[in-house]
Structure 1
Amino acid sequence: MCTVTFLPLKNNGFILTSNRDETPLRATFPPKKYQEDGVKLVFPKDKLAGGTWIGTSSNNRLVCVLNGAFKKHNRKESYKKSRGIIAKDILKASNCNAYIKNLDLDGIEPFTMVIVDWNNNNLNLLELVWDENTKHFNSLKNEPKIWSSATLYSETSKETRQHWFKTWVSENNFTTSTILNFHHSEIGDKEQSILMKRPKVETVSITSIKKEDQKIEMLYKDIIRNLIHKTSI
């Protein structure tokens, strides 16, 4: 939810990995297969809001959510809809671009969504940022990339993490095990490291989704309980 990396693989494959930085008191269900509105979904579920921060669908799509847009915002007492529910709506949409173009986000808390869509034998890496005033929807190059949540990490911290990731990319092969090592790393200050820990917020889980040819696998690690769930999609 708060630290995300994308790695391209050959033949339109990829590995996307997300660290969820949250209060350990917030209950979560591990990944499970669901069917909603005729669409097959796989995602870990947030018990409080019923949505998700990362998931895939039979529409050949992945959506991953980070809190905040470009900079830290002042949180309101309430919002119209959970960002995790919007993530599910995008997973279920038949046409991703058209759905986002018409998506009304007034009254929604700022967010960043990383979207991977692999329809028509193409792999499209997309980014949707809502800053509470404007939708910023862009297509990105299929190259290694890291995102850090604006609500938890300053611009200086983001730049430091970009440097760590760039170094990692130059020294490692792109596999699930190697990128998981990066997402478990405790480089530098513990409050700013990839595997983060602060008094009230810490990395509670790591989810990694790999697409290779027609095979898709989701690995979910509950950091708090030290449990691992693997799901083939």
Structure 2
Amino acid sequence: MCTVSFIPFPDERFIFTSNRDENPKRAATALHELEVEGKTLFFPQDEQAKGSWFVFSNTNQFVCVLNGAFEPHLSEGSYRLSRGKMALQFFEYADHRDFINMFEFEGMEPFTFIVFDQGTLIELRWDEKELHEKMLSTTVVHLWSSATLYPSSWQKKRYTLLEAWTLQKERNQAEVMDFQLSEFPFERSALVAIYGDRVPDDVPVETLSVSSIRGTKNNFEFQYKRKDASAQFEKSVQIK
């Protein structure tokens, strides 16, 4: 589904950015708002499944979902809950620890779930057998790509490119978004590297949009734009 990056800056600032690689029929057109357990959630909504791959709140929390865990998998077609709706349900819990301990992962399709919880960055991967939890540093660059769309060699290459680019000078949010759209687009050849020549020529997947949060101690600055320029919106949220 995505290529996602976390870029740190001094004074606990960061830019977190997600490309969305998906069927154009599932493109988001507006930013939705939802009240859950005293939290105000904001998210671009998947127009088909009604969930979201990227959800943030006024409580210094955000989550981002990528399809697949460590390796490509064959979808069984029917699962207990969509991963996009799981992203929304995360905010029904007090924090990431309650979510890990209490959410029912059994019956979920494999995923990678990036969680930012009041200054803590966590990577969760579910492979249909076990939940793998990894605490991450917020002082180094991170990059993730969906295991269902990109082989590990592509992920490593993109990480190297991103890290080198960020070392040249301090980048702003608009630059990061443009960089990811131009340098990390979906390519059919990535699927061929995983699945071979049986990949059809007309794969119904493309890089639809880029979403990004610029985070500080006091607020989130969210921006979203479609690659085809058909939709663009932003939201500034003060953290409680």
Tell me whether the two structures share a fold, i.e. TM-score over 0.5: yes
State the 1:228 CA deviation.
1.5
Q: Is the 8 A contact 2:17 2:211 kept in 1?
A: yes
- Paired position in structure 2 for 1:226: 230
Larger CA deviation: 47-56 vs 74-83 = 47-56
CA contact (8 A) 1:90 1:100 kept: no
- Who is 1:13 aligned against? 13
Find the partner of 1:136 among 119, 132, 136: 132
Deviation at 1:53, TM superposition (A): 0.4
CA–CA distance in 1 between the matches of 2:169 and 2:76?
A: 42
Contact persistence 1:6–1:144 (CA under 8 A)? yes
Contact 1:42 1:55 in 2 (8 A): yes
- C-alpha RMSD of matched pairs (Å): 2.2
1:164 aligns with 2:161: yes
How far 1:12 moved relative to its partner? 2.1
In the TM superposition, what whole-angstrom CA distance separates every residue of 1:8-42 from its partner, at most 9, and x where no partner exists?
A: 12232221000000011224342132213432101
Q: 1:32 to 1:132 in 2, by over 3 A?
A: same
Q: Distance in 2 between matches of 1:149 and 1:31?
A: 23
CA distance in 2 between partners of 1:98 and 1:187 (Å)? 34
Amino acid at match of 2:136: L
Change (3 A) 1:149 1:172: farther
User: Whole-Å Cα distance in 2 between the matches of residues 109 and 170 of structure 1?
Assistant: 36
Query: Could you tell me how far apart the structure 1 residues matched to 2:134 and 2:183 are?
Result: 31
For residues 127 and 171 of structure 1, the distance between their equivalents in structure 2, rounded to whole angstroms, comes to 27
Paired position in structure 2 for 1:208: 212
Distance in 1 (CA, whole Å) between partners of 2:44 and 2:185 is: 29
* Aligned residue in 2 for 1:217: 221
2:193 corresponding residue in structure 1: none
The partner residue of 2:150 within 150, 153, 156 is 153
1:101-134 deviation per Cα after TM superposition (whole angstroms, max 9, x unaligned): 222211100000111111xxxx211111101110
The alignment's TM-score, normalised by the length of structure 2, stands at: 0.86
Counterpart CA distance in 1 for 2:97 and 2:6 is 20
> 1: CA distance between counterparts of 2:87 and 2:142?
20
Mapped partners of 2:186, 2:36: distance in 1: 42
Q: For 2:37 and 2:91, locate their aligned partners in 1 and report how far apart those are by CA, in whole Å.
A: 11
Aligned partners of 1:49 and 1:189: how far apart in 2? 21
Matched with 2:182 is 185
Return the offset for 1:139.
0.8
Q: Tell me the distance in 1 between the aligned counterparts of 2:56 and 2:20.
A: 16
Question: 1:38-77 maps to which residues of 2 (within 5 A)?
Answer: 38-77=38-77
% identical aligned pairs: 35
Note the alpha carbon deviations across 1:182-201, whole angstroms, 9 max, x for none.
Answer: 212247994469xxxx7421
Cα–Cα, structure 1 residues 141 and 229, in superposed 2: closer, same or farther, change >3 Å? same
Higher helix share: 2
- For residues 133 and 189 of structure 1, do their structure 2 counterparts lie closer, same or farther at Cα, with a shift above 3 Å needed? closer
1:46 alignment partner, SS class: coil
Sort the Cα spacing of 1:8 and 1:226 in 2 relative to 1 into closer, same or farther, 3 A: same
8 Å CA contact 1:80–1:108 kept in 2: the answer is yes
Indicate the SS of the match to 1:79: coil
Q: Report SS of the residue matched to 2:222.
A: strand
